[in-house]
Amino acid sequence: MPLRIGDKAPDFTADTTEGSIRFYDWIGDGWAILFSHPKDFTPVCTTELGYLASLKPEFDKRHCKLIGLSVDSVSDHQAWLKDIEETQGHALNYPLIGDSDLSVAKLYDMIHPNASGPAQERTAVDNATIRSVFIVGPDKLIKLILTYPMSTGRNFDEVLRVLDSIQLTAKHQVATPVNWQQGEDVIIVPAVSDEQARQKFPDGWRAPKPYMRIVPQPK
Given 107, 125, 153, which residue is the final one in a domain? 153
Q: In what order do the strands lie in the sheet with 174-175?
A: 174-175, 186-188, 212-215, 206-209
Range of the domain at 205: 173-215
pLDDT in tens, 121-154: 444 445 678 899 999 999 999 999 999 988 899 9
Residues 125 and 193 in one domain: no
- 192 within domain boundaries: yes
From the list 7, 1, 2, the residue with the least C-alpha distance to 136 is 7
From the list 155, 164, 159, the residue with the least C-alpha distance to 48 is 155
pLDDT band at 41 (very low <50, low <70, confident <90, very high): very high
pLDDT in tens, 43-94: 999 999 999 999 999 999 999 999 999 999 999 999 999 999 999 999 999 9
C-alpha pair distances (Å), 106 with each of 22, 71, 141: 17, 10, 18
pLDDT of residue 127: 62
- 195 within domain boundaries: yes
Residues 139 and 179 in one domain: no
- 1 within domain boundaries: no
C-alpha pair distances (Å), 200 with each of 51, 115, 173, 174: 38, 51, 9, 11
Residues 121 and 200 in one domain: no
Residues 70 and 145 in one domain: yes
The DSSP bridge pattern shows strands 13-16 and 19-22 to be antiparallel
Residues 98 and 23 in one domain: yes
Please name the helix (run of DSSP H) or strand (run of DSSP E) that holds residue 85, with its range, or none: helix 74-88
Question: Are 213 and 207 a contacting pair, CB within 8 Å?
Answer: yes
| The model's pTM | 0.91
pLDDT in tens, 146-200: 999 888 999 999 999 999 999 999 999 999 999 999 999 999 999 999 999 999 9
From the list 92, 96, 81, the residue with the least C-alpha distance to 54 is 92
- 5 within domain boundaries: no
Residues 93 and 127 in one domain: yes
- 8 within domain boundaries: no
pLDDT greater than 70 at residue 96: yes
Among 34, 45, 128, 166, the active-site one is: 45
Domain at 52, CATH number: 3.40.30.10
- How many domains does the structure of the chain reveal? 2
pLDDT in tens, 5-25: 999 999 999 999 999 999 999
Question: Is residue 45 among the annotated active site residues?
Answer: yes
